[in-house]
Structure 1
C-alpha cells in the first residue's frame, strides 16, 4: 500500500499553569489572535493554516466528548518548545522588540546553513524560538 502524504503541521501545543498570563503574552507580546477561549484551552492563529494550542496544564488528561466524537486526553510535564518562522530581515526588529517588552532572550544561535534563532520563554517557562531560513533543508524562506 502506498503511504498517503502529510500536508504539514496544523497544530502545535504548549501546556501552561496560568491561562491569563499566557493569553497576555501570546496576544499582547507576540500579537497572536485568539480564535477560541475555553476553560481548558486557548487557540491562536499562528499563520496561514497554523494554530497554536495553549492548554491548561492538569485539565486535559481526560477524554472530552463532543457532538462529533471523542477527543482523547493528553498532557505533558516540564517545559515545551516550538519555533515561529520569521523573515531573515526581521531578526533585528524582533530582537529589539523583545527587549523593549522585557522579554529576556536566553540564547541566540547561528545555524550551519546560515539561519538564525532567538530563544526566549513564555510566562510558564516554555522555550519559544524565532527562526529565520535557512535552518532545516525544508525551510528555505
Structure 2
C-alpha cells in the first residue's frame, strides 16, 4: 500500500525554558510575527507558510491535563535542537549583516558541495538556527517545479 502524499511541513518545534528571550530573538531580532502565546507554556511564530512553535519543555512534557479541551500528548526535548529558515540565496549577505548588527554571533557561514550557502547562529536557548535557500535540498526545474 502506498502512503498518501505529504504536502510539506506545517509546523516544527524548538524548546526553550526562557520564552521571553525566545520571543525577543525570533520576533524582535528576526522580525517574525507572533501568532499565539501562552505565558509559561509557548510562543508561536509565522514562518512563511509554516509555523515555528517554541515551547517551554517543562510545561509540555506531561501533555494536556486530564479533561483538557485539546488533549495534546506530552512532548519535549532537552539540549539544542535545529531549525532552518528558507531564505532567498541573494538575501544571505543581508541576513549576515542584520544578525551581526544585533550582536548575534555567526557560528558558521559556508557553501555546501552543491553550491548552496548556509549561515548558522544560536538562539538564546542554544538551538542551532540556520538560514539557507531552497537549493540546499531542491534544485529548480525548467517547468517551474523542483526536484530533490
Q: How does the TM-score come out when normalised to structure 2?
A: 0.87
Distance 2:98 2:139 in 1: 24
Provide the aligned C-alpha RMSD in A. Answer: 1.5
- Structure 1 unaligned residues grouped into runs of 5+: none
- CA deviation string 1:83-127 (max 9, x = no partner): 001111101111111110000000112011111000000011100
- Structure 2 unaligned residues grouped into runs of 5+: 141-145
Aligned length: 138
Q: How does the TM-score come out when normalised to structure 1?
A: 0.92
Q: Which has the higher strand share?
A: 1
What is the correspondence of 1:65-76 to structure 2 with a 5 Å cutoff? 66-67=68-69, 69-76=70-77
What is the correspondence of 1:27-66 to structure 2 with a 5 Å cutoff? 27-38=27-38, 39-48=40-49, 50-64=50-64, 66=68
2:118 matched to 1:117?
A: yes
Q: Which residue of 2 aligns with 1:100?
A: 101
Distance 2:37 2:139 in 1: 31
Distance 1:78 1:61 in 2: 14
Q: Which secondary structure does the structure 2 equivalent of 1:71 belong to?
A: coil
